[in-house]
Structure 1
Amino acid sequence: MTRTPQVVVIGGGQSGLAAGYHLRRLGVDFVVLDAQSTPGGAWQHTWDSLHLFSPAAFSSLPGWLMPPQPGEEYPDAGHVVAYLRDYEKRYELPVERPVRVSGVHREGALLRVETDSGAWHARAVISATGTWWRPFLPAVPGRGDFGGQQLHTVEYRRPQDFAGRRVVVVGGGNSGAQIAADLAYDAQLTWATQRPPRFLADDIDGRALFDAATARRRALDEGRTDTGGVASLGDIVAVPPVREARDRGLLKAVPMFSRLAPGGIEWADGTRADADAIIWCTGFRPALSYLAPLGLRVRRGHITTQGTRSADEPRVRRGHITTQGTRSADEPRLHLLGYGDWTGPASATLIGVGRPAREVAREIAELLRG
C-alpha cells in the first residue's frame, strides 16, 4: 500500500509534536513517525532525579501551557512525559508508532521514507529526531584498557547503583554537574572537566535562558552583533540539587585527565586516581544516519542548512552573524528541527522549539502551494 501524506515528520518527541501542531493549524496533511513505543520522546529515558530548569509555564510547546506539577516548582521528567502524551491527544496529532525510519531517498517529485513498516512518500520531510539516540564518547587514550564500568549519560539512572564506589564523572555541562551532584553523597566522586565549571548565577533558570536566546535571535534577525546568547552566561544552571551540593563543597572539579589505565585515570604529570566506574557526560551528536542516502553536505556533524554554516563557523556579513535556518541547503524539501542553535536558537528546548517549528510549517505550506 502506498502512503502519500504531503509531509512526513520523523520523530515524535517535543520537536515533532511542535511541528505537527503548526502543520495542523495550516491544514497540511501530514504524519509523524515515532520510533518509540509510547509517547514522551527522550524524556522517558532520562535519569530518575532529572528536573527541568524552568517552571511549567516556561517549558511549554505552542498552543498549550504545561500544567504545573503539584509540589514541584521545576517539573520532573515524568511530568514532561505526561504533558507530551496529553499534548499529542489534545491536538489529535497523527502519530504512528513504533515506526523506525531506515532511509530517506529522492524519488522524482517526492521523497521516499523507508521504514520497518513499509515506505511513505511525501512532498516534504521534517527531521526531528534530536540527539539523545547518538551519545558521543571522546577518544581518550586507554579507554579500552579500563577494567571498570563505563557508561554514558543516557545509561545513568540513580545514585544507589554506585553507592560506595569510586566514580569519575566526565563533563562540565549541565548533565555532568547534575549527575555529579546526584552521586556526591553516596559515591567517592571525582568530577573531571576540560575547564573550570562556569555556574550561572543562582537566580538564573530557564526563563532567563530563553530570554537570552530570544535576544540573540532578535539581534541576528536585525543584523546586529551577536550577543552570545546562553553561552555568554555560563555552562551550568544552578538548579537546587546542584546548588546544594556545590554549597556543601561536594562539587569540586579537577582538570581533565590525559588517559585511562586498567584501574583508573591518569594525568599528564603521572598523578593517578583509582576508579570503579566512569560516567561520560560528554554530549551528543545529531541522530541523522537515515538521511545518508540524500548525500547532503555535513560539517562537524551538522548538515548544512539554508542561510548558515555550522554553528561554530557562522557566515559573517558586514561584521554580523547571519541568522540560521532549518531547510537543507542541498535538498529544499527537507527541514531539520530541534537539533540545537544551528537549527534555531534554543530549538532543542521545549519552549524554544515553537518558533522554528512555526517557520518550518509556513515554509513547507508555501512549498506545497507552489
Structure 2
Amino acid sequence: MGSKRVAIIGAGVSGLTSIKACLEEGLQPVCFEQHDDLGGVWYYSDDVRPNQGAAMYRSLITNSSKEMMSFSDFPFPKDTPPYLPYHRVYTYLQDYAQHFSLKKHIRFGTQVSRIQKTEDFDETGRWEVRTVQTGHGDGEQTEIFDAVMVCNGVFARPYVPDVPGLSDFAGVTMHSQEYRTAQQFTGKKVVVVGAGNSAGDVAAEIAQVASQVYLSLRDGAWVLPRLAQAGMPRDMMLRRVLMNMPEFIVNKIIKGEANARVCHDNYGLTCPAEPLKHSVMANDEIGYRFATGQVVTKPQLSRFTQHAARFADGSTVDGLDAVVFATGFNLAFKFSDESLLPSKADDVNLYKLVFPAELTKPTLSVIGCLSTIGAHPPIYELQARWAVRVFLGLNKLPDKETMLNRIRSDKLELKQRFGHVKLQMLNVPYRDDIAEEIGVKPSFWRLLPRDPKLAFLCYFGPAFSVQYRLLGPHPWSGAADHAKSALANTLYPFRSPALDKEQPFLSLAKIMKFVLLLGVLVVVFNRFM
C-alpha cells in the first residue's frame, strides 16, 4: 500500500495540503506545478501569469481570521495579527511547506497536459499523466500513477458576463484578475460589477482616487465588516451551535449584524435572498464610501455604448472611463475530458464535491472545487485527508447509485438555495460532514468526560480547524491546548499581560451565558413557533 504513487495537479493551498495528506498515510506524492513557485492564488505577480486563474491585488487582506483559516496542525505564529495581507499568507504557506518537507515533492515549471485512464483501469484504477515543461509544447512525458488529486482550484477561468454593447465600449475593460492597484483610475469615472469580496475591495479602493465609482449589483448584496462586537473577527460566528439552529434564526442574526453597520435599504443594497442563500461581501471600507457618495450603487448592467453604461432601472452613466468585472471565475479542467471533469457546475457529478461518481475505481479526487462563506484551507485539508484514505481503502465510498442520489439531492438543494447550481456549501456543516467520513469530527459527548471545557468550546465556541486533530486518525499532540487558547491567540498581539490573565474566566463566563441564551431561545421557539 505504501508504494502507491499519487499525482497532484497544482501547488496552491489544496495542492500543498494534499501532498501532506499523502505523506501522512505513507503514499508517494508527485505534485506538478506549472509556475516557478508554490502558493497558487497567494503568489503575487505584477502581471497575470500564463494560464493563471485568480490573482492577488496589492491591498488584499484576508476575509478570514488567522485561527479560522490555518491548517489543523500548523497554526499561525501567536504574534500574527487576526487579519493578514496576502504576503503573510504566502509566507505561511512557505513555512508550512518547509516544516513538513513538502517542496521536494513538487516539480515546478511542469504543466499537466492530459490525464486519462490506463487500459487496465477497471482492474488497477491507475492513471496515465502527461506533462510538458511550461512554455514548451514539445517534449511531452508520460507517467503512470495509482491515483490523481486535482488541485487546480475553483478560481480557474475569469468570467465576464455577456453585456450587450461591451465590444463597442471605448474605455478600459478588465476583470478583477488583472487588477493590482487603483493608480490607473485616478480622476476616472468607473463602474465595478459584482457583489462579492473582490468587488467591494476594488470599488472601495478605486473610490479613493477616482472621480466617481458605481457598484453594479445584479440582486443586491449582504455587506458585513470583518470585525464584530469588541473588535473580534466576524468569522468567529461560525459555531456549531449556530449552524444547528433553525435557518431563519441564523439569517435573522446575520441580517441584524449587516444592517447594524450599513442599512441595506438606505444604500441600495437590498437583497431579495436571505444571507445563507446569497453571497456575502466582507468589507470594512465600503460603508464609508457609500456614506460619502464616492461609491454609488446601481442595479444590473443592461447595455454599454461607446462612452456610457445603462442599467436595468433605465439610469445611465455617461462619460464612463472604465469597467472592472469582479464577477468571479468558471471551472476549467483543460487536461481532462469533459465527460470526466465538466467545466459547467450543472454537469459536475462529484460525490460530496470530491469524487466522480461514475468511476469504477475511486482513484481520482477533486480538492477545492467549491466556495463557501468562511475560510477555505480547512475544507481543502479535510477533503485531502479523506481522499487519500479512500485511495488506500481505509474509508469506503457507497455504491454508485447511492452517490448519484446524493449528488442529485445536493444539486436540488443548491437550486432551491441559489436558484441555480452554485458550488457553494455552508462552511461548518460541510466540514463536519467530511470530517465524519474520516472519523475526526469533534464529538461533544466523546470529549465531555475527558475534558468538559474542550467539549463546550468545540460546540459553543468558534469552529477552529485545530478541532479536527483532537480525535481519530493522525491527531496532533498540541491540538487540545491550542483549541483552548485559539480564541485568546486571535487578539494576542494587542493584549496586555493583565488582560491575558483574565481570558480563561471570561471565556468560561461567555460560554455559560451563551448556553443560557440558547436555552431561552429553544423554549421560546418550542412555545411560540
Tell me the TM-score range normalised by the shorter chain.
0.7 to 0.9
Equivalent residue for 1:116, pick from 113, 127, 132 = 132
CA distance in 1, matches of 2:233, 2:31: 31
Deviates more, 1:356-365 or 1:247-256: 247-256
Q: CA RMSD in A?
A: 3.2
CA distance in 2, matches of 1:282, 1:348: 20
> How is 1:48-127 mapped onto 2 (pairs within 5 angstroms)?
48-67=58-77, 72-93=81-102, 94-107=105-118, 108-109=120-121, 110-117=126-133, 118-127=141-150
Kept after mapping to 2: 8 A contact 1:8/1:124: yes
CA distance in 1, matches of 2:242, 2:64: 18
One-letter code of the match for 1:80? V
Structure 2 stretches lacking a partner, 5+ long: 44-54, 134-140, 255-274, 397-529
1:7–1:226: structure 2 CA closer, same or farther, 3 Å change rule? farther
Query: So what's the TM-score if we normalise by structure 2?
Result: 0.58
CA distance in 1, matches of 2:250, 2:127: 37
Q: Does 1:279 align with 2:324?
A: yes
Aligned match of 1:30: 29
> What's the CA shift for 1:268?
4.9
More helix by share: 2
Aligned match of 2:156: 133
Deviates more, 1:225-234 or 1:359-368: 225-234
1:228–1:10: structure 2 CA closer, same or farther, 3 Å change rule? farther
CA distance in 1, matches of 2:183, 2:382: 40
Larger Rg: 2
Equivalent residue for 2:382, pick from 355, 363, 369 = 355
Kept after mapping to 1: 8 A contact 2:5/2:29: yes
One-letter code of the match for 1:198? W
> What's the CA shift for 1:57?
2.2
> What's the CA shift for 1:249?
4.8
One-letter code of the match for 1:354? E
CA distance in 1, matches of 2:62, 2:82: 9
1:40–1:62: structure 2 CA closer, same or farther, 3 Å change rule? same
> What's the CA shift for 1:275?
1.4
SS of 1:356's equivalent? helix
Structure 1 stretches lacking a partner, 5+ long: 307-323
Aligned match of 2:336: 291
1:334–1:175: structure 2 CA closer, same or farther, 3 Å change rule? same
SS of 2:77's equivalent? coil
Aligned match of 2:406: none
> How is 1:1-370 mapped onto 2 (pairs within 5 angstroms)?
6-44=5-43, 45-67=55-77, 72-93=81-102, 94-107=105-118, 108-109=120-121, 110-117=126-133, 118-187=141-210, 188-200=212-224, 203=228, 205=233, 207-208=235-236, 210-211=238-239, 231-232=275-276, 235-246=279-290, 248-268=292-312, 270-273=314-317, 274-292=319-337, 295-296=340-341, 299-300=344-345, 303-306=348-351, 324-331=352-359, 332-341=362-371, 349-366=376-393
> What's the CA shift for 1:270?
4.9
1:297–1:238: structure 2 CA closer, same or farther, 3 Å change rule? closer
> What's the CA shift for 1:100?
1.0
SS of 2:335's equivalent? helix
Kept after mapping to 2: 8 A contact 1:5/1:121: no
1:336–1:125: structure 2 CA closer, same or farther, 3 Å change rule? same
1:347–1:123: structure 2 CA closer, same or farther, 3 Å change rule? farther
SS of 1:240's equivalent? coil
Deviation per residue, 1:311-347 (Å, 9 max, x gap): xxxxxxxxxxxxx241111233211111215xxx679
CA distance in 2, matches of 1:234, 1:196: 9
Kept after mapping to 2: 8 A contact 1:346/1:352: no
1:269–1:39: structure 2 CA closer, same or farther, 3 Å change rule? closer
> What's the CA shift for 1:368?
11
Kept after mapping to 1: 8 A contact 2:150/2:367: yes
> What's the CA shift for 1:96?
1.1
Higher relative contact order (CA 8 A, sep 6+): 1
Number of paired residues? 340
Query: So what's the TM-score if we normalise by structure 1?
Result: 0.81
Deviates more, 1:243-252 or 1:31-40: 243-252
Deviation per residue, 1:215-247 (Å, 9 max, x gap): 76x89xxxx999999951863344333354345
One-letter code of the match for 1:89? Q
Aligned match of 1:315: none
> What's the CA shift for 1:301?
5.7
Question: How many percent identity over aligned positions?
Answer: 25
1:355–1:227: structure 2 CA closer, same or farther, 3 Å change rule? farther
1:266–1:240: structure 2 CA closer, same or farther, 3 Å change rule? closer
Deviates more, 1:137-146 or 1:239-248: 239-248
CA distance in 1, matches of 2:62, 2:348: 28
1:40–1:210: structure 2 CA closer, same or farther, 3 Å change rule? farther
> What's the CA shift for 1:166?
1.2
Aligned match of 2:401: none
Deviates more, 1:61-70 or 1:93-102: 61-70
Kept after mapping to 2: 8 A contact 1:297/1:330: no
CA distance in 1, matches of 2:132, 2:110: 6
